[in-house]
Amino acid sequence: MRDPFDIYSETDPADALDALYRLTGEAGAPRSVSGLHYIGDGPMFGRAVTLRSLPSRDDHNAVSHRPHETSMEWAPTPMRSRCVTNGRCSSSRPAEPSIRSGWRHRAGQSVGRRAAGLLTDGHIRDRDRLTMHAVDTNTKFATGGFTLQYGTGRMLTPAEVNVPVALHQTLVTPGDYIFGNADGVVVIPETMAEEVLETAVIFTRAAIVIEDMLISGGGVIGVDVKGISGDVQNEMMRRFEFSDRQLELLEKNVTDLV
């Protein structure tokens, strides 16, 4: 079986979400986060390192602040990871302070030195500087928006690192795979990542074949091609090389999508 980092470039977040729902069903909370502002060239992909925030209150902050337990600077941050912070879904509660002081805020320390991106439902400052940083370092950012206000210590206080967090209604746990672009971000459980992504590759290849069939035949999707039919699968097999694992998942997860 391939490592997820070797698979994701062959598909996209939308097909990964379709594959995830195919494997799990669509009951329960959403598996993706939409409506975010995206900065960066290309898709965001990595493992989740999480920071949970709480509303700031002076008396609580004074007795609960434990730098080695609540700072992204001290959190184990493997390479190719994504820092995920919950901004408590409010534009009046920015997730981070400014980055004007050399990335001296908590998530910025990790993003700037070790991690490869930031995902938050909170608002952050300094869009222009983030954009320049993304260009210079190939870093990706997906945020709830932008604001003039600073956040940490004023509206929010870091509470715990590497614990489950909620972004909007989507659960993110440490080690989950984060896969996103300007359309949104899908959260893939660690134990399912390989199967989800390999199945997503199959969906991506099927979409290419279906689109070409529709264009060449003047058809309309949903009318002339209603799913991954036998004809579509035959053309997929002719045009693409499938591994034994992909053939297994084609039979398991895709063949009845007609």
Tell me the pLDDT tens digit for each residue of 140-187. 999 988 888 765 666 777 788 889 999 989 999 999 999 999 999 999
CATH 3.50.30.40-classified regions of the chain: 35-182
DSSP secondary structure code for residue 122 in this structure: S
Instruction: Give which of 186, 183, 177 is closest to 36, Cα–Cα.
Output: 183
Tokens 């984060």 found at: 178
The CATH number given to 35-182 is 3.50.30.40
Residue 73: pLDDT above 90? Answer: no
Whether 94 shows a pLDDT value over 50: the answer reads no
3 state DSSP class of 219:
coil
- In this prediction, residues 11-22 reach a mean pLDDT of 97
What share of the chain has pLDDT > 90, as a percent? 47
Q: What percent of the chain has pLDDT over 70?
A: 75
- Over residues 25-35, mean pLDDT: 94
Phi, psi for residue 77 in degrees, rounded to 5: -130, 90
Distance CA 180, CA 182 (A): 7
Q: Quick one: pLDDT at residue 115? A: 63
Q: 5, exposed or middle or buried, with CB in 10 Å at 0-12, 13-18, 19+?
A: middle
The string of pLDDT tens digits covering residues 40-57 is 999 999 999 888 888 878
Pairing of the two strands 170-172 and 165-167: antiparallel
Strands 32-33 and 184-188: antiparallel
- Side-chain half-sphere CA neighbours of 34 within 13 A: 6
